[in-house]
C-alpha cells in the first residue's frame, strides 16, 4: 500500500463463532483467497466486485439472483467472510468468490482496466467524526480508479445511511463525472430510488428505524 494512502479500515482480528470457524476451516481454501496472492482477477462472464459485504446477507442474495454473473466480495472482517462462506454453501452458489484484504490494492494490482461489469460499495464505514473523514473510502482517487476498471457501460453503485457521507459521495462522483469518465444514472434526481436488485437487510431496516435515510447513487462508465 502506498505510504500516502490513508486506509479506510482498521483491521482487527476477530474471534469466530464455532459455526464460523467450521465454515472457515472447511471452505476458505476452496472458495476464498487473499488479495495479496491475487495476480489477476478475471472471469468467463460479467464480473461484479463488491467492496465490504459485511455479514454477506445481501451479497449472497444478489449472487443467487444473478447466476449468470461472477460475483467477487472483498472484505477484511473475518467473521463476515466466514458467515458468507456459510451462506454460499447453504444456497449452493457457484458464482461467488471471497477475497480477504484491501480492495484498493486489489483494484490497483489485479483488476485489468475495462474488465468489470460493476462495483458495489454498500454502507461503507462512515467514519462519522470529522477528524476521521479523511479515512472514508469514497474519495476522488478511489472513484477514478474504479472508473478505469469498469467496462464502457459498467456501473458504480453506492449506498449509505449517513447523509454527510452521501453528500460527499455525490460531490466526489460528480467531480469525476465532470472529467468525462462517468455519467450519472438517469434515474438519479439527485439520489437513485432504491433498486429492487439491492436487498433490504436487517442493518438497513435498523438504520431506517433510527431515523436515517438511505441514499443510493449509481454512475455509469462512458
* Active-site residue set: 125
Count CB atoms within 10 A of the CB of residue 3: 5
Place of cell 482517487: 141
DSSP 66: -
In this structure, the number of other CB atoms found within 10 A of the CB of residue 85 comes to 25
Half-sphere exposure in the Cβ direction for 40 (13 Å, CA): 5
Cβ pair 154, 134 in contact under 8 A: no
| 11 CA to centre of own chain | 16
Residue 61 DSSP label: H
Q: What does residue 6 show for φ and ψ, rounded to 5 degrees?
A: -90, 120
Strand, coil or helix: 122: strand
Question: How many Cβ atoms from other residues are within 10 Å of residue 48's Cβ?
Answer: 23
What's the CA gap between 222 and 216, in Å, rounded? 20
Amino acid at each position: 500500500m502506498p505510504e500516502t494512502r490513508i486506509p479506510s479500515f482498521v483491521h482487527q482480528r476477530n474471534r469466530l463463532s464455532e459455526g464460523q470457524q467450521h465454515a472457515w476451516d472447511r471452505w476458505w481454501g476452496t472458495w476464498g483467497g487473499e488479495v495479496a496472492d491475487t495476480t489477476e482477477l478475471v472471469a468467463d462472464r460479467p464480473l461484479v466486485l463488491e467492496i465490504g459485504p459485511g455479514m454477506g446477507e445481501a451479497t449472497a442474495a444478489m449472487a443467487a439472483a444473478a447466476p449468470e454473473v461472477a460475483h467477487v466480495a472483498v472484505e477484511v472482517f473475518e467473521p463476515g467472510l466466514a458467515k458468507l462462506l456459510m451462506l454460499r454453501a447453504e444456497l449452493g452458489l457457484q458464482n461467488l468468490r471471497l477475497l480477504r484484504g484491501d480492495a484498493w490494492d486489489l483494484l490497483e494490482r489485479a483488476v485489468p482496466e475495462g474488465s468489470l461489469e460493476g462495483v458495489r460499495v454498500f454502507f461503507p464505514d462512515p467514519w462519522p467524526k470529522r477528524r476521521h473523514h479523511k479515512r472514508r473510502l469514497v474519495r476522488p482517487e478511489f472513484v477514478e480508479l474504479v472508473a478505469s476498471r469498469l467496462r464502457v457501460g459498467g456501473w458504480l453503485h453506492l449506498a449509505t445511511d449517513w447523509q454527510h457521507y452521501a453528500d460527499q459521495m455525490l460531490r466526489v462522483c460528480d467531480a469525476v463525472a465532470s472529467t468525462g469518465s462517468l455519467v450519472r444514472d438517469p434515474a438519479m434526481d439527485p439520489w437513485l430510488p432504491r433498486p429492487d436488485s439491492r436487498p433490504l437487510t436487517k442493518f438497513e431496516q435498523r438504520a431506517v428505524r433510527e431515523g436515517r435515510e438511505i441514499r443510493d447513487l449509481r454512475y455509469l462508465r462512458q
